Amino acid sequence: MTKKYVMLADTTRCINCKACVVACRAEWDTPIGHTRDWVKEVEFVEEGKPQVMLFPGRCQHCDDSPCVEACPSGAAYKREDGIVLLDHDICSGCELCVGTCPYEARWLNPESNTISKCTFCQPRVDEGLEPACVNTCVGRALIFGDMNDPDSEVSRLLKEKEWQQLVTDEVSVGPNHYYYTAGQSIPDEVKPKVPERHLAGKTMEIINPIGAIGIAGMALAFLGAGVMKFIGRRNEVSTSENKEEK
Partner 1 sequence: MSDTNTPRMILVREKKSVYMHWFNAGIRLLLLLTGFGIISGELVRIVPAFWPEFMQGLFGGNDNLILTHSVLAMIWIVVFVLFILFNLTNIVLPFLKNVLVLTPSAAIRDVKSMIINLFQLFGLMKEVQIPPQGRYNGAQRLLGTMIIFCSFALAFSGLYLFFGPQFLNFSENSLYGAIFRWALVAHITSVFLVLTGIVAHVYFAIVEEPECLEAMKSGYIDVEFLKHHNKLWYEELKQEGKV
Residues of the shown chain interacting with partner 1 in the complex, contacts defined by CB under 8 A: 68-76, 87, 89-90, 92-96, 108-110, 113, 197-198, 200-201, 203-205, 207-208, 210-212, 214-215, 218-219, 222, 224-226, 228-229, 232
In the complex, minimum distance from the CB of residue 35 to partner 1, in angstroms, rounded to a whole number: 16
* Whole-number Å distance between alpha carbons of 113 and 206: 28
In the complex, minimum distance from the CB of residue 210 to partner 1, in angstroms, rounded to a whole number: 8
In the complex, minimum distance from the CB of residue 197 to partner 1, in angstroms, rounded to a whole number: 8
Nearer to partner 1, 150 or 232 (CB): 232
**Of 62, 43, 66, residue with least CA distance to 54:** 43
Q: What stretches of 29-112 adopt beta strand conformation (E)?
A: 38-46, 49-57, 76-78, 84-86, 107-108
Nearer to partner 1, 7 or 70 (CB): 70
What is the Cα Rg of the chain in Å?
A: 27
Nearer to partner 1, 15 or 228 (CB): 228
Nearer to partner 1, 150 or 224 (CB): 224
> How many helices and strands, by DSSP H and E, does the chain display?
6, 10
In the complex, minimum distance from the CB of residue 226 to partner 1, in angstroms, rounded to a whole number: 5
* Whole-number Å distance between alpha carbons of 17 and 21: 9
Angle at 97 between CA 215 and CA 93, to 5 degrees: 100
